Amino acid sequence: MTAITGIVLEIQRMSTEDGPGIRTTVFMKGCPLKCVWCHNPESIRLKQQVQWIGSRCIGCKLCVTTCPNGALSFDNGIIIDRTRCKGCGTCTEVCPSTAMELLGKRWEVNSLVHELLKDKAYFLTSGGGITISGGESTLQTKFVQQVLIQLKHHGIHTAIDTCGICNQHALDMLLPYVDCVLYDLKEMDPQKHIVFTGKSNDGILKNVRFIIEYMNNHLYPREVWIRTPLIPGKTAYDENIVAIAHYINLLHSKAITRWDLCAFNNLCKDKYTRLGISWELENAPLLTKEELMHFEAIARENVYNPALVKTSGSTRIEGDEVLVAKPKKMSGC
């Protein structure tokens, strides 16, 4: 019998924003959306990808001569022909300085669960657990389901982070093994949602209602966290926050225990550069603290339970356009 496998982008430990307690977050490869603000662009494609990290390169050109597809050349740095690159990883195997990096690793279910259980002590002492994120957690459905089943067998608190673009069969497969659902409501205007993400929000709104109804008739999941990215010039405007608040009011479910307003993060510029992708928001500033507090106040004034509203993310000091910090993977939104 062939083992079920999945492609994982990264395993991030000691996370405190991807569900309750201290968590380990598994970032899956593949996403059906193409959000203009995406802070994990390397997670969008389901297939493995190669990137070049210039600061590590010693200029040996072993990768160029080894590539079986002739996808690499050297001109003051490695140039990757994305039309030829198959993501085979041959160049990463011969690179002596790890400048060539393969994005995405294929895991078997048992191996991944074994790796994740190494952090069990942190979960037990903090009330944390494992969050499956992405990309999109529901895309590699069978693999994620089997991982969740094993984690529940070991008594681990589980969460999935989803953009809501999936079929309900996938939700039926996953929800019985999930304690917490992190669910994105990004933009309520359907046309703007298409412009910002490439997809309509119709299925997203239907699926959140499906999840709430599912929870009314089943033991799991136990709670839903709504997440909204605050993107300057995009989703960060009063009418959108008010509309999302009113939609949460329509759901009016005790299962919704939190509404996160996630401030725009601009620390992913280098990711786009390494993938050879231009980024529309490359020069967009962070929100100021005052702007973040303003949207928090709007949310609290309009949602039926103000205590649901939380904010996260760094803010800009007036006059500063660049935040200097170590980039990390971020879930959702």
Tens digits of per-residue pLDDT, 228-282? 999 999 999 999 999 999 999 999 899 999 999 999 998 898 999 899 899 999 9
Tokens of 257: 């225990």
Say which residues have a Cβ less than 8 Å from residue 256's Cβ, sequence separation at least 6. 212, 223, 224, 225, 226, 248, 308
Distance CA 183, CA 168 (A): 14
pLDDT at 208 over 70: yes
The whole-number pLDDT of residue 83 equals 93
Token pair listed for 21: 């307690």
pLDDT, tens digit, for every residue of 43-60?
Answer: 999 999 999 999 999 999
Alpha helices in 68-176 (DSSP H): 90-94, 109-116, 120-126, 141-153, 168-174
The predicted model scores a pTM of 0.92
Amino acid letter, 273: T
Do domains 5-46+105-312 and 49-103 share one topology? The answer is no
Cα dihedral 151, 152, 158, 163 in deg (nearest 10): 90
Give CA 190 to chain center in angstroms: 22
Residue 316: per-residue pLDDT: 81
Q: Is the pLDDT of residue 150 over 60?
A: yes
Indicate the pLDDT class of residue 319, thresholds 50, 70 and 90.
low
CATH class of 49-103: alpha beta
Per cent of the chain over pLDDT 70 is 95
Q: Tell me, what's the pLDDT at 314? A: 87
Per-residue pLDDT tens over the stretch 59-100: 999 999 999 999 999 999 999 999 999 999 999 999 999 999
**% of residues, the chain, pLDDT over 90:** 89
Domain ranges of the chain: 5-46+105-312, 49-103
pLDDT at 317: 74
Average predicted confidence (pLDDT) for the chain = 94
- Please list, in sequence order, all residues whose beta carbon lies within 8 angstroms of the beta carbon of residue 300, skipping any fewer than 6 positions away: 306, 309
Architecture, CATH, for domain 5-46+105-312: Alpha-Beta Barrel (3.20)
User: Distance between CA 131 and CA 25 in Å, rounded?
Assistant: 5
Q: What per-residue string of b and e applies to 133-169 under the rule 16 or more CB within 10 Å gives b?
A: bbbbbbbbbebbbbbbebbbeeebbbbbbbbbbbeee
- Choose among 114, 140, 170: nearest CA to 6: 140
* Bond prior to 221 in cis (omega within 30° of 0): yes
Query: pLDDT confidence of 198, banded at 50, 70, 90?
Result: very high
Which phi and psi (to 5°) does residue 324 adopt? -95, 115
C-alpha to C-alpha distance for 202 and 196, rounded to whole angstroms: 14
* pLDDT given at position 287: 95
Tokens of 9: 């982008």
